[in-house]
Amino acid sequence: MTTATPSLAPLSRPRSGRLGGLWKAIRQHPSGAIGLFGVTFFLLMALIGPLIVPVPRVNVQARSQPPSFEHILGTDNQGKDIAAQIVHGSRPVITVAVLTGLITTAIAITLGALAAFWGGLFDRVVNSAANFVLTIPYLVAMTVLASFIRLNSPVTQALILSLWSWPVLMRTVRAQVLSLREREYVEAAVALNLGTPHIIFREILPNMASYIAISMILAMTSAIYAQIALITLGLVPLSDMNWGRMIFIARTTGAIYLTDTVWFILSPVMAIALFQWSLVTLARSIEDVFNPRLRSGA
Amino acid sequence: MSQPTPILSLQGVHKYFKAGRKTIRVLQDVSLEVAEGEIVCLVGESGCGKTTTGKIIAGLAAPTAGKVFFEGRDVSQLRGEDFRAYRRAVQIVHQDPYASLNPTQTLYRMLSFPLFRHRLVRNGAQARARVLELLQLVDLTPPEDFIDKFPHQLSGGQRQRVSIARALTVNPRLIVADEPVSMVDVSIRVSLLNTLSDLQRRLRLTFVFITHDLAVARYFAWEGRIAVMYLGRIVEIGSAPEVTAQPQHPYTRALITSLPEPDPELTRHKERLSLRSEDIPSLLRIPSGCAFHPRCPWHVPKVCDVTLPELAPTEGRSLAACHVTAQTSRHLEALSAQKA
């Protein structure tokens, strides 16, 4: 690994950076590359798909059709193109997933790191809160909440989902920080008087970067399941097009019993499964991107 | 002896840790004065409290009882900028070069953070110049080859040099070196020790050097003092040549006689002090009286296991906490008094 002689590039700064590392990791881990490709594909679908693909229209002449050149995933019981619905339905699902992942991670890191660092009362309060949240049956609570709060905005949905998903990640962040803060380089930073924010954000968190990224992706995947569950159960208003809504409608219009609507119910299920699989596959190769040992060197 | 205020002094420092209901007495009544520019070596077996002493000196742990004075001021009373100034003035170099450097930072980042934080440089160019200078100072040459490396690209000895450079970023006056060479290959120990000695002279640093290896202590602190610790107490303290040539305390003697000499003939015929027991007692159950009595070949029943000996003048010029040497010394004094 360190076979390159140091005098080869004395003045240039041989830093490949995160992006270079990502590229290297992709070359070394084809499955990670597939994951990245899948995630990019779905993100593009959510971002620009609705701008390209026309909004599907009702067509009573072409109800519940199998896949064809005209309708690559067939049509639903109203004759609407399923592929177009998948494209238009991806945006709300992915928006909520990304937002939930970000909010959950932000809450978990802030509370976990500070609880570990300050200890004492703050630590006890945060832990009690986490235990409290973990003991509440999540779907039941959502059912109750849905009758109080209008869940139609993606931000509200993400906030509510995050409210339930932060404790697990918070605990692991706390445990990691508790262990990392005992490292000698942290002690050296204390002796050098570099300050608590520096110690948390520069000394401790970078050592958990891959872990945090993976946790964020996993928080996204569970956010998708939770969100689809809410919609499929009909707890969220069915205002916009959405994979969960497709499952809900397919189910309520009898797709479970009728064989010719199998494409209608299977398409969103497959979309969800594929997106989740891409996320998890990507998460697995992320470790290599953040590990400086693997990132640099010849 | 009227001397200027010592840069650092410990007065009756105790450190206890709680383990469940039991109390572990890691340090008991440790008093030590370190003069500016001096080298003091703390020597002892693992568990004797030398690392804890180092952490207390560096302000990384607070004593359970007793006081630490930095330039005559009680450290526990320092607040705000005064405390931070003390913190910066005393830096620590850790034992394990693999755990003491953050694996996610290049040497430049690692060494420039403290420079920026304490406004020792104004911009990136100055920081880079200063980091190169620091790397040069610890003999990582040419520094341009090292500045953008990550710790995993360096050897143990090189990492330890980075650790020293990091301690030097804030222009400290006292460095606590906690076993800085014990985890480094034997072949590069001497060059690392020479770098440290060189820095000590050039930057007029004060060193508290912690080691379990008397040979290393003797080499590094030849012009300084050695304090031998046993189960949380200093049992002998004196100038390095005296302690190593004429050890007074039986424990120091045992340590010295167990050192191999370069000449195998000499080693073979060296008089060994045979201990009554090889086992170090647990810190949870420190023996009564002199803690060394269960192992001591000179053990005097009903004296050594009852009364705690205090550091007292001996036959030589060092101080030792031993009833036997104290008695001999008193005896000699009485003899010389009779003659006079």
Taking CB atoms and an 8 Å cutoff, what residues of chain B touch A13?
148
Decide if A239 touches B, using CB distance below 8 A: no
Domain range for A171 is 25-53+75-295
For residue B15, tell me if it sits in a domain.
yes
Lowest-pLDDT range of A120-124, A256-260, B191-195, B237-241: A256-260
How confident is the model over B53-69, as a mean pLDDT? 90
In terms of Cβ atoms closer than 10 Å to its own Cβ (0-12, 13-18, 19+), residue B202 is exposed
Q: CB of A247 within 8 A of CB of A271?
A: no
What is the rounded distance in angstroms from the CA atom of residue B87 to the CA atom of residue B291?
34
Q: Is the pLDDT of residue A80 over 80?
A: no
Is residue A255 very low, low, confident or very high in pLDDT (cuts 50, 70, 90)?
Answer: low
**Interface with chain B: mutation pick from A192, A205, A289, highest number of B CBs within 10 Å:** A192
Whether residue B231 sits in one domain with residue B159: yes
Rounded to the nearest 10 degrees, the angle between the axes of helix A82-118 and helix A209-232 is: 130
Amino acid at B19: A
With CA atoms as reference, the chain A residue closest to B90 would be A191
B80 within domain boundaries: yes
pLDDT given at position A22:
62
Judged by CB atoms closer than 8 Å, whether chains meet at B92 and A188 is answered as yes
Judge whether B212 and B44 are in contact, CB under 8 Å: yes
The amino acid at residue A177 is: V
Token look-up 């201990």 returns: B275
Judgement on whether residues B63 and B174 belong to the same structural domain of the protein: yes
What pLDDT sits at residue A221?
A: 85
What's the gap in Å between the CA of A129 and the closest CA on chain B?
Answer: 27
Measured in angstroms, the CA of A291 and the nearest CA of chain B are apart by 8
Cβ within 8 Å of residue B175, ≥6 positions away: B90, B91, B92, B93, B164, B167, B205, B206, B207, B208
- Interface contact A183-B99, CB threshold 8 A: yes
* Domain CATH code at residue B89: 3.40.50.300
Q: B233 touching A, CB under 8 A? A: no
Beta-strand pair B8-19/B225-230: unpaired
Distance CA A235, CA A220 (A): 20
Give the model confidence (pLDDT) of B8-60 as tens digits.
Answer: 999 989 999 888 888 888 898 999 999 988 999 999 888 888 899 999 999 88
CA distance B89 to B68: 14
Give the distance between the most distant pair of CA atoms in chain A: 77
Across the interface, whether the CB atoms of A15 and B144 are under 8 A apart is answered no
Contacts of A195 in chain B (CB under 8 A): 117
Q: Do B114 and A293 touch (CB under 8 A)?
A: no
Whether residue B304 is contained in a domain is answered as: yes
Per-residue confidence (pLDDT) for residue B164, from 0 to 100? 93
Q: Answer yes or no: do B211 and B273 share one domain.
A: no
Judged by average pLDDT, the poorest of A246-260, B61-75, B163-177 is: A246-260
Minimum-distance CB partner of A191 among B58, B106, B150: B58
Residue A14, pLDDT > 70, answer no
Position A205 scores a pLDDT of 85
| B residues 97-126 closer than 8 Å to A (CB) | 99-106, 113-114, 117-118
Mean pLDDT of A43-67: 76
Last residue of a domain, one of B245, B278, B295: B245
In a domain, A64, yes or no: no
**Searching chain B, which residue's CA lies closest to the CA of residue A16?**
B148
CB contact under 8 A, B94 and A190: no
Tell me, yes or no, whether B3 lies in a domain.
Answer: no
Q: What is the distance between the alpha carbons of residues A79 and A97, in angstroms, rounded to a whole number?
A: 29
Q: Rounded to an integer, what distance in angstroms lies between the CA atom of residue B59 and that of residue B84?
A: 10
Q: Same domain, yes or no, for B48 and B140?
A: yes
Percent of chain A with pLDDT over 70: 79
Nearest to B145 among A10, A202, A296 (CB): A10
Q: What is the DSSP letter of A33?
A: H
Partners of A11 on chain B (C-beta within 8 Å) are 144
User: Are residues B234 and B313 located together in one domain of the fold?
Assistant: no
Interface test with B, best of A184, A204, A291 (most B CBs within 10 A): A184
Token couple for B272: 């060994």
Best interface-test mutation with A: which of B95, B131, B132, B153 has the largest number of A CBs within 10 A?
B153
Q: Are B154 and B105 in contact (CB under 8 A)?
A: no
B237 & B313 share domain = no
B65 and B36 fall within a common domain:
yes
Helix (H, G, I), strand (E, B) or coil at A265: helix
Q: CB pairs below 8 Å between A and B: how many?
A: 84
Helices (H), ranges, chain B? 50-57, 80-89, 107-117, 124-137, 156-168, 186-202, 214-220, 240-245, 250-257, 264-269, 323-339
| B1 domain residue, yes or no | no
- Reduced to 3 states (helix: H, G, I; strand: E, B; else coil), residue B12 is strand
Structural domain total, chain B: 2
| CA–CA min distance B89, chain A (Å) | 9
Task: Note if the bond before B142 is cis, omega within 30 degrees.
Answer: yes
Residue B98 reports pLDDT greater than 90: no
Q: Which two tokens stand for residue B94?
A: 């850790």
Provide DSSP, B91-104. EEE-S-TTTSS-TT
Q: What CATH number is attached to the domain comprising A211?
A: 1.10.3720.10
**Which position has the token pair 């045992």?**
B254
Chain A interface test: which of B88, B104, B147 (most A C-beta within 10 Å): B104
Collect all residues with Cβ–Cβ distance below 8 Å to B49 and sequence separation of at least 6. B15, B26, B27, B30, B229, B231, B232, B233
Strand pairing report for B225-230 and B39-43: parallel
Whether the CB-CB separation of B175 and B206 falls below 8 Å is answered with yes
B308: closest CA of chain A, how far (Å)? 35
CB-count exposure of residue B37 (10 Å: 0-12, 13-18, 19+): middle
Question: What does residue B37 show for φ and ψ, rounded to 5 degrees?
Answer: 80, 5
B28 in the same domain as B81: yes
* CB contact (8 A) between residue A184 and residue B99: yes
- Please indicate, yes or no, whether residues B86 and B215 belong to a single structural domain of this protein: yes
Q: Which residues of B touch A185 (CB under 8 A)?
A: 99-102
Say whether both B117 and B252 belong to one domain: no
Tell me whether A17 touches chain B (CB under 8 Å).
no
Buried b (16+ CB within 10 A) or exposed e, B309-319: bebbebebebb
Confidence at residue A7, expressed as pLDDT on a 0 to 100 scale: 42
Q: Do A207 and B105 touch (CB under 8 A)?
A: no
Q: Is residue A19 part of a domain?
A: no
User: For the CA atoms of A287, B99, B136, A191, what is the dihedral angle to 10 degrees?
Assistant: 110
**Which residues are paired to B24 by β-bridges?**
B17
Mean pLDDT of the residues in chain B: 86
Q: What pLDDT is stored for residue B160 in this prediction?
A: 92
Asked which of B245, B269, B291 is the last residue of a domain, the reply is B245
Phi/psi at A129 (5° precision) = -60, -45
Query: What burial class does residue A87 get, using C-beta atoms within 10 Å of its C-beta: 0-12 exposed, 13-18 middle, 19+ buried?
Result: buried
- Range 137-166 of B in CB contact (< 8 A) with A: 142, 144-146, 148-150, 152-153, 163, 166
Per the listing, tokens 């159950």 go with: B285
Q: For chain A, how big is the Rg over CA atoms in Å?
A: 23
**Residue span of the structural domain in which B85 resides:** 8-245
Q: Is residue A173 part of a domain?
A: yes
Give the model's confidence band at A24: pLDDT under 50 very low, under 70 low, under 90 confident, else very high.
low
Q: What's the number of domains chain A is made of?
A: 1
Taking only the tens place, the pLDDT of each residue in B202-252 is 988 999 999 988 888 888 888 889 999 999 899 999 998 888 888 888 888
- pLDDT for B271: 67
Q: Both B145 and B289 in a single domain?
A: no
Show the tokens assigned to B132.
Answer: 């190169």
Co-location of B193 and B253 in the same domain: no
Residue A70 inside a domain? The answer is no
| Residue A9: inside a domain | no
Pairwise CA distance, residues B283 & B153, whole Å: 40
Q: Which residues of A touch B169 (CB under 8 A)?
A: 192
Q: Which of B245, B267, B301 is the last residue of a domain?
A: B245
User: What is the C-alpha separation between A151 and A158, in angstroms, rounded?
Assistant: 9
CA distance A89 to A53: 12
On whether residue B2 sits in a domain, the answer given is no
pLDDT tens digits, residue range A172-201? 889 988 888 888 899 899 888 888 888 888
